[in-house]
Structure 1
């Protein structure tokens, strides 16, 4: 790590992650390289290695930021409401994750590669953010639905999140293949899938 103020280090990391995020909107995980990321930053490609050793570490930092932002929203939900019905909570969490489509995309497509090719210290930073998201949802469930088995909710809901993106977003190539295969299948929005799952886990209370 180069010498510099913590503010400069944080700013450089943020710029790299932002560049990765921008590329991920139009390119696939496999297509994006350190060279591609460096081309849209204000400093040289080799400088990136002072902050991240692999592109997987950059993507992991991007997913970490997504988890941190979502956790903050969930903690705020618990703090700002004295009570919520199952329908209101399902609506709130569904709208929240709808805004974090990128998190669901990363979970569905590249999570294993990112963790496998990141240094332990980077992985630990990510796990702290992931742990906070678990705690944020726990805070909501324990406050609004004290009769619900909180850990059972977590055990089902978080693995469910891994499958939301591919069931709600499809390319034209995938849609055409489904039509050719005469599949009886309807795509659902992120909101619809999250809302339905939460309502069922809460027993429609």
Structure 2
């Protein structure tokens, strides 16, 4: 039975409440497969989850709170998968630059394979954090900082020439770089049509290629200089 209208049964136990919250996050994630954040309403999320908007609000204060929690969930899932997706360090490679380039390519490809996470990261500061409560922001930030520390450990293990502080700096730049680059790589229909002009080929943005180059440059600049 649909949970909209009179069919809705409130989850009573903490376990059932968490299951309900996850089902709402699942619905938001499914919608992100077909639309951008700006085009998704709280009513859309409720409809996708099979519950009324008012019942979504029993679990999240607003649409932005749903997406903030989904971003943290996506970020955690990415961190779970990232160690296996990063190319292993190769002592027999063509040199340190080759190793950094392989790391940067794998890092960018791993992110590009997660468009929902990148879409949410691209509107984090401009949309998602703007209309939620102070406590919701604090909860998000605590989880995000813990994730960044975990990411720094992964980066440091993959690129030992980055000391822990440098790995932390690169990890902290991850979301900032996505926020700056993802919208340009996924513009609206007007821009898509405009850059079909052959004279504007340079305006096309290839997200994984451009992101990889930025990570390569940042990683190289942060590496500990070799001892003389």
Scaled by the length of structure 2, the TM-score of the pair is 0.73
Which position in structure 1 is the counterpart of 2:13?
Answer: 5
Give distance in 1, aligned partners of 2:169 and 2:68: 27
Alignment of 1:35-74 (within 5 A): 35-74=43-82
Which position in structure 2 is the counterpart of 1:123?
Answer: 137
Relative contact order: is structure 1 or structure 2 higher (C-alpha 8 Å, sep ≥ 6)?
1
Residue aligned with 1:116, SS: coil
User: Any conservation in 2 of the 1:157–1:197 contact (CA below 8 Å)?
Assistant: no
Mapped pair 1:137 → 2:154: no
Which position in structure 2 is the counterpart of 1:188?
Answer: 205
Residues 1:179 and 1:59: Cα distance change in structure 2 (over 3 Å): same
| Structure 1 position 47, deviation (Å) | 1.5
Residues 1:111 and 1:135: Cα distance change in structure 2 (over 3 Å): same
Ranges in structure 1 where 5+ consecutive residues have no aligned partner: none
Give distance in 2, aligned partners of 1:192 and 1:44: 42
Report the number of matched residues. 202
| Structure 1 position 104, deviation (Å) | 1.7
CA RMSD of aligned residues (A): 3.0
User: Any conservation in 1 of the 2:121–2:175 contact (CA below 8 Å)?
Assistant: no
Give distance in 1, aligned partners of 2:116 and 2:80: 16
User: Any conservation in 2 of the 1:70–1:133 contact (CA below 8 Å)?
Assistant: no
